């Protein structure tokens, strides 16, 4: 059921009591890297404003329950004061307030999960927010018990209620899977000691892991980054270090995986979901048949995409097979120099500005107003993210910037999310949240704009080949790899129904999908069977991963429309982003002449990747 935001799903990085620390110099060649300013939310964990807002949230939650519980059916018959529109407005404001508090606690904790004080703060605030949410849980449940005709009449009659029509219509899709109030409250309160607890265990364990390379122990992000270094020996050493540490911690990751899979199976069974991924499809507001068609289309394309590309890459690198750790190795043609932060900023903003000055202006605020945390440093969580916070505040972006071309693409990706979140914020707290399948649209589109802008400037054929190769690899990682992840999750959750899985069994399932998706040009050797352990999406958001493939294929089709579009495309695109969670994917794509339920839709998206591989093959012959 839908409640307030789930803060443990964030992958974030060091907070410093909400203050803005001095920017980190990192590698001098990168320039001064910015650190975000969490004081925009609250000055510190014990700031008077934070304490006051927490007390305000408690008072308002209790008052809301007292005012509205058991009275929503009567409210639905009224217009104006005391009507359902008033209740929805109050609920929307409460969601924003609780979201702001939860964001600050989550960002602070994930900023440095190794800090015990941050862990206690996060845990305490999570507990308080869960307690407050238990007083608000009745609202959605009671609304869904009101007859459809009554709700429809209220939306038609009362403008204040009608404003929330998309949210109410969306909420009623949950109705068949809704339990009685006591069970829903039990599920909510027990989440702190079940899924949330094991999510926290995963995050803290991963943050503490160190990987030894040449006698030096380093965190995950830095070690993973070594896999895209130009020297084969460096990549091999990193792979050995990763496999060794993952293997030493298999027991805890196996326990986490088994526990969360079982926890989800219990929840799905009680709610009546038929398929193991149906709860995710419902949350994404996408039909199971659409996802099945996507998965099948990508699987059938493996030979034309990943198998074909990796065979080409093996030839370029002078081997019959690539080691699994060489999958993302840079080509010899790849420029060796680091890209400074100012250059990365200019690259992304210029590409955004060429598409839309408004888009560049919004993205520019992230740099100018200290909404970005860029340095890679000990204790900082790996990866990258854009967190929307709440409409009354602003989003934050985290990247681990090391000056590689892929880091520039990651920055473009996350700023796309940020622009989307700013634009959707106008819908208010309840309706700004976009389903995961559409949440990747702006990020992948921003990445594509940046790539195309860079490619157009590149005249050297060897550099162009390196750029195209890297883009193809990124698209394979986004589409092929994520669908393989989705199929791995399906195998895990299906097998878990028969009993606990051993580390060896999980490893075998992992290798089965990796072999199929990567193809014969990749040598899967000992050690790779443990690499499922570090993928956070499996833990935080089961079956999230297909959203990346959905978004990439969608944007490929959308970008093809843009390339041939008449004036006005940008306006329609901004309307899509501003919609937030108020419209179904079919309604949002219709102005562009696209339909994800059309069997040929996914083929169109995949054909763009295939076309880039064709271009690479032709360019290789010309170099």
For every residue of 43-97, DSSP letters joined together read: SSTT-HHHHHHHHHHHHHHHHHHHHHTT-HHHHTT--STTSHHHHHHHHHHHHHH
Tell me how far the alpha carbon of residue 24 is from its chain's centroid: 26
Q: Are 620 and 465 in contact (CB under 8 A)?
A: yes
Indicate if the pLDDT at residue 338 is higher than 50. yes
Q: Are 510 and 531 in contact (CB under 8 A)?
A: yes
The residue assigned the tokens 């459809």 is: 148
Per-residue pLDDT, 623: 66
Mean of the pLDDT values across residues 145-151?
A: 94
pLDDT over 60 (residue 7)? no
Instruction: Please give the pLDDT value at position 149.
Output: 95
**Average pLDDT value for residue range 165-181:** 93
Structure tokens at 393: 């505040």
The model scores a pTM over 0.95: no
Kind and range of the H or E element at 255?
A: helix 250-271
Total H helices, total E strands in the chain: 28, 7
Q: Which tops the pLDDT comparison, 56 or 11?
A: 56
User: Which are the contacts of 200, defined by CB distance < 8 A and separation ≥ 6?
Assistant: 8, 119, 122, 123
Helix (H) or strand (E) holding 202: helix 195-208
User: Which structure tokens are listed for 586?
Assistant: 């079919």
Specify which residues 24 forms β-bridges with.
Answer: 33
* pLDDT at 565 (0 to 100): 75
Kindly report the backbone phi and psi dihedral angles of residue 387, in degrees, each rounded to the nearest multiple of 5, phi listed first: -105, 125
How many angstroms separate the CA atoms of 461 and 471, rounded? Answer: 15
pLDDT at residue number 26: 58
In this predicted structure, the answer to whether residue 380 has a pLDDT above a threshold of 80 is no
Pair of tokens at residue 502: 């051993």
pLDDT number for residue 15: 27
**Which residue is associated with the tokens 């909510």?**
188
Contact 214, 171 (CB under 8 A): no
Q: How confident is the model at residue 376 (pLDDT cuts 50, 70, 90)?
A: confident
In the prediction, which pLDDT does 6 show? 40
| Alpha helices, H only, 302-440 | 306-316, 341-355, 357-368, 405-424, 436-439
> Which domains, ranges and CATH numbers included, belong to the chain?
38-193 (1.20.140.70), 204-334+480-540 (1.10.1370.20), 341-476+554-622 (1.10.1370.40)
Model confidence pLDDT, tens digit, residues 515-533: 999 999 999 999 999 999 9
User: What would the two tokens of residue 282 be?
Assistant: 């419902």
Q: What pLDDT is attached to residue 566?
A: 72
Q: Quick one: pLDDT at residue 579?
A: 95
Compute the average pLDDT of residues 362-381.
89
User: What is the C-alpha separation between 502 and 54, in angstroms, rounded?
Assistant: 43
Burial (Cβ within 10 Å: 0-12, 13-18, ≥19) of residue 565: middle
**pLDDT at site 224:** 93
Q: What is the structure's pLDDT at 18?
A: 32
User: How far apart (Å, rounded) are the C-alpha atoms in residues 314 and 312?
Assistant: 5
- Per the document, the length of the chain is 623
pLDDT per residue over 547-599, tens digit each? 999 999 999 999 989 988 777 899 999 999 999 999 988 899 999 999 988 87
Mean pLDDT for the chain overall:
91
Q: Contact, 130 vs 197, CB < 8 A?
A: no
Q: Using one digit for the tens of pLDDT, what is the confidence trace for 476-486?
A: 999 999 999 99
Taking CA atoms, 13 is separated from 341, 414, 523, 606, in Å, by: 19, 15, 34, 34
pLDDT digits (tens, 9 = 90+) for 240-252: 999 999 999 999 9
Least confident of 318-327, 417-426, 583-592: 583-592
- Give the C-alpha separation, 11 to 397, whole Å: 11
Give pLDDT, residue 456.
87
pLDDT digits (tens, 9 = 90+) for 59-116: 999 999 999 999 999 999 999 899 999 999 999 999 999 999 999 998 888 777 778 8
Any idea which of 105-109, 121-125, 322-326, 343-347 has the lowest mean pLDDT?
Answer: 105-109
**Smallest Cα–Cα separation from 417: which of 452, 374, 372?**
372
pLDDT per residue over 436-470, tens digit each?
888 889 999 999 999 999 888 888 888 889 999 99
């Amino acid at each position: 059921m839908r409640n307030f935001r789930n803060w443990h799903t964030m992958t974030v990085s060091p907070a410093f009591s909400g203050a803005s620390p001095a920017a980190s110099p990192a590698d001098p060649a990168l320039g001064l890297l910015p650190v975000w300013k969490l004081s925009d939310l609250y000055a510190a964990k014990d700031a008077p404003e934070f304490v006051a807002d927490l007390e305000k949230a408690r008072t308002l939650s209790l008052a809301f329950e007292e005012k509205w519980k058991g009275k929503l059916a009567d409210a639905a018959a009224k217009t104006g004061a005391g009507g359902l529109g008033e209740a929805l407005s109050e609920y929307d404001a409460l969601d924003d307030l609780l979201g702001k508090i939860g964001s600050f606690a989550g960002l602070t904790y994930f900023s440095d999960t190794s800090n015990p004080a941050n862990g206690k703060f996060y845990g305490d605030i999570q507990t308080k927010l869960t307690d407050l949410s238990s007083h608000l849980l009745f609202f959605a449940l009671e609304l869904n018990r009101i007859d459809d005709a009554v709700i429809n009449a209220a939306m038609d009659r009362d403008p204040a209620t009608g404003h929330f029509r998309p949210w109410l219509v969306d909420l009623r899709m949950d109705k068949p899977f809704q339990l009685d109030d006591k069970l829903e409250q039990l599920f909510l309160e027990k989440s702190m000691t079940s899924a949330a607890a094991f999510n926290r265990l995963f995050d803290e364990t991963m943050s503490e892991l160190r990987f030894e390379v040449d006698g030096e122990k380093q965190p995950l992000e830095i070690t993973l980054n070594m896999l895209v270094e130009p020297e084969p020996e460096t990549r091999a050493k990193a792979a050995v270090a990763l496999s060794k540490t993952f293997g030493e911690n298999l027991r805890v990751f196996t326990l986490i995986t088994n526990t969360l899979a079982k926890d989800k199976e219990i929840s799905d069974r009680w709610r009546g979901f038929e398929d193991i991924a149906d709860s995710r499809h419902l949350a994404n507001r996408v039909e199971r048949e659409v996802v099945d068609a996507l998965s099948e289309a990508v699987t059938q394309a493996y030979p034309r995409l990943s198998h074909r590309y990796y065979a080409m890459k093996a030839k370029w690198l002078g081997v019959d097979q690539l080691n699994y750790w060489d999958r993302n190795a840079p080509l010899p043609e790849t420029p060796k120099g680091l890209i400074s932060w100012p250059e990365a900023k200019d690259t992304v903003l210029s590409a955004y500005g060429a598409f839309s000055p408004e888009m560049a202006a919004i993205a520019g605020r992230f740099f100018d107003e200290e909404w970005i945390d860029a340095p890679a440093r000990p204790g900082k969580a790996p990866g990258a993210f854009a967190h929307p916070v709440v409409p009354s505040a602003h989003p934050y972006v985290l990247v681990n910037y090391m000056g590689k071309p892929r880091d520039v693409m990651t920055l473009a990706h996350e700023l796309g999310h940020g622009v989307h979140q700013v634009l959707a914020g106008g819908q208010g707290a309840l309706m700004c949240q976009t389903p995961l399948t559409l949440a990747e649209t702006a990020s992948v589109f921003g990445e594509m704009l940046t790539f195309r802008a860079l490619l157009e400037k590149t005249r050297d054929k060897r550099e162009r080949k390196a750029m195209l190769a890297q883009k193809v690899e990124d698209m394979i990682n986004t589409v092929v790899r994520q669908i393989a992840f989705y199929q791995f999750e399906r195998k895990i959750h299906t097998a878990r129904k028969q009993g606990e899985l051993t580390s060896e069994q999980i490893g075998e399932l992992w290798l089965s999908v990796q072999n199929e998706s990567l193809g014969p040009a990749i040598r899967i050797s000992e050690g790779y069977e443990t690499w499922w352990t570090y993928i956070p999406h499996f833990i935080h958001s089961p079956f999230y991963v297909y959203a990346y493939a959905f978004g990439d294929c969608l944007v490929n089709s959308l970008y093809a429309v843009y390339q041939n579009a008449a004036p006005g495309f940008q306006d329609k695109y901004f309307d899509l982003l501003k919609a937030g969670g108020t419209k179904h994917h079919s309604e949002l794509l219709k102005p562009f002449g696209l339909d994800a339920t059309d069997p040929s839709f996914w083929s169109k998206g995949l054909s763009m990747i295939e076309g880039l591989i064709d271009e690479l093959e032709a360019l290789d012959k010309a170099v």
